[in-house]
């Protein structure tokens, strides 16, 4: 299994500001995923980040709002830009392990006031 860490673990931000969330994996992985979990809801995929290429966004998510970087095979960042209270969620980083398993980081709890 992969060990995934995320920073920050939680943050409270003011509307209109931006927050960058970091995801670090203890092994090299090809694909990294970013999910959002709004309060009391299930998880929704935001985008897939492959190293060396632009992230691929799911319907309803755009690069201007959620820019993603993937500078190497063990690290990725997700920025939540121009935040509003509706962005208050848990943001989770995920990677594929062997045998099509998928592991998740501990999540970043974001509250926008």
Partner 1 sequence: AQKVTQAQTEISVVEKEDVTLDCVYETRDTTYYLFWYKQPPSGELVFLIRRNSFDEQNEISGRYSWNFQKSTSSFNFTITASQVVDSAVYFCALFRPGGSQGNLIFGKGTKLSVKP
Region of 15-23, 59-67, 68-76, 90-98 interacting with partner 1 (CB under 8 A): 90-98
Region of 19-27, 36-44, 61-69, 73-81 interacting with partner 1 (CB under 8 A): 36-44
> Among 21, 23, 29, 33, which residue sits at the site for partner 1 (rule: CB under 8 A)?
33
The C-alpha atoms of residue 67 and residue 9 are separated, in whole angstroms, by 19
CA dihedral 13, 10, 6, 106 (to 10 degrees): -140
| Nearer to partner 1 (CB atom), residue 62 or residue 82 | 62
| Nearer to partner 1 (CB atom), residue 6 or residue 74 | 6
Q: Does 98 bind partner 1 (CB under 8 A)?
A: no
Alpha-helical segments (H) within the chain: none
How far is it between the farthest Cα atoms of the chain? Answer: 41
> Among 1, 27, 28, 72, which residue sits at the site for partner 1 (rule: CB under 8 A)?
1
The C-alpha atoms of residue 94 and residue 43 are separated, in whole angstroms, by 11
Residues forming beta bridges with residue 104, ordered by sequence position: 94
Give me the residue label for tokens 């500078």: 71
Which residues form the interface with partner 1 (CB under 8 A)? 1, 31, 33, 41-45, 48, 56, 58, 90, 92, 94, 96, 99-107, 109
């Amino acid at each position: 299994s992969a060990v995934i860490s995320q920073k920050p673990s939680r943050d409270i931000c003011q509307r209109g500001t931006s927050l960058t969330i970091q995801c670090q994996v203890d092994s090299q992985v090809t694909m990294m995923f970013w999910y959002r979990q709004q309060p009391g809801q299930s998880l929704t995929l935001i985008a897939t980040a492959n190293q060396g290429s632009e992230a691929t966004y799911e319907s309803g998510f755009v690069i201007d709002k959620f820019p993603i970087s993937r500078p190497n095979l063990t690290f990725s960042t997700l920025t939540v830009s121009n935040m509003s209270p509706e962005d208050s969620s848990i943001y989770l980083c995920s990677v594929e392990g062997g045998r099509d398993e998928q592991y998740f980081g501990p999540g970043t709890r974001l509250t926008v006031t």
